[in-house]
Structures are given as C-alpha cells and as structure tokens.
Amino acid sequence: MFHKEGHKIIFVTLVIVVGSFFLIDEFILNEWLRKGLMIAVLAFFILILQFFRNPKRNTHANEMQALSPVDGKVVVIEEVMENEVFKDKRIQVSVFMSPINVHVTRHPISGRVSYSKYHPGKYLVAWHPKASEENERTTVVVENQHFGKVLYRQIAGALAKRIVNYAKVDSLAIQGRDSGFIKFGSRVDLFLPLDAEIKVELNQKVRGGETVIAEMK
C-alpha cells in the first residue's frame, strides 16, 4: 500500500522510467551500458516506491500511553523549555527518519486537536540543534483526559521540501491514524508532560503507531 501523498509522484516517475527504457534501448548500443542504465533507472523507481509505502500498523489504543508518531531512531531524550505553546518545561523525545524510513506521521495519542500551526523556515539537517526552531515545521497539540496535552512537531530536513499536516483544530485525533507526511528525510519532536514515564532509550529504533514512547505513571 502506498500513501496518497505519493500517488502523483509515483505515476510521473513511472512514466519517466518507461520513457527512459525506450530511449536507452533505442540509442545505447553498448549492451553492458544499456543493461546498467536500465538497472539504475529501475532501482531509482524502487526507491521511490519504498519511500511512499504506507504499511498497516497494529496499534493497541491506550489513553495512558503515547506512541511513536513515526518510524526511525530516537536521537533526543531530555527535559527542555517548550516555548511555542506550553511556555514551560516538557520532556522532549525526538525521532530521526532517514530517507529509507516510512515517512507517515501518526497521532501519538487519541483526543481533541487543540493547536495546529505551520511555520515556514530553513532546511538545516534534521539533527541540527536549531532545526526545531528554524526549519520548516508544523506544530500540533492533542489532548485527552488521561494523558493530558501532547505536542508533536514535524520538522523538515535538508532533503525534505514539503510537510503535509492533516490535523485541524477541534478535530478528533485517533491514536495511530495518519496525521501527515514529510517528504524525503526529517524528524519529529514529541513534547510530553514531566510526569510521563519514558519507555524508550537513545538510539532505539521505533515504529510509528506501535512503539510506546511514554506512559503516565
């Protein structure tokens, strides 16, 4: 299954691949060069397909838990001051996505979307310390009675040129369901209450909609 954000790109890429095959077959006379170019073009198409894949996830809904919003590797776990919405200290957990990860963003908790905002910005590498404040990004807050408020921030990286965010203020967020997409490498920051018990470690690989990031004590 492929994400809807990739349908147009996949179609255009397929047309280019088919056209390239005809041109290579027509104008490249050297057999080894012809086969090598065809393999390279096919490999490129497979990479595009892999990037836009949208696998089903086995989400076990639990209002006392916050799940990872994306696939990737945990690169930050620390107490920080969150200045955009909460204006107080939170536990930040950041997940870095490489270009080969699934790039679907999923709601970490179920509840009401109380804040959703897009910020234009730079395209610093996703692990840059200032990426969270200066890069193109979206900020979403979901709240429920049991977990409280959870903020997650989609952050564009050096390769990401478009962030898609489906969360609308006052809409219902369902844990594990699609909430957006980031194209070509990025990271997501999760800001949790200070009394949340963190269930992951640095450099741990996580799966969006499945891995428990935190649990209320």
Residues marked as catalytic = 186
What is the per-residue DSSP string for 53-111? B---------TTEEE-SSSEEEEEEEEEEETTTT-EEEEEEEEEE-TTS--EEE-SS-E
What is the C-alpha separation between 29 and 73, in angstroms, rounded?
A: 45
Tokens of 164: 């898609």
* Closest of 165, 155, 54, 51 to residue 107, by C-alpha: 165
Contacts of 86 (CB under 8 A, 6+ apart): 149, 151, 191
Contacts of 22 (CB under 8 A, 6+ apart): none
Beta strands 137-144 and 111-119: pairing type? antiparallel
Burial class (CB in 10 A: 0-12, 13-18, 19+), 207: middle
105 forms bridges with which residues in the sheet? 180
CA 46 from centroid of its chain's CA atoms: 20
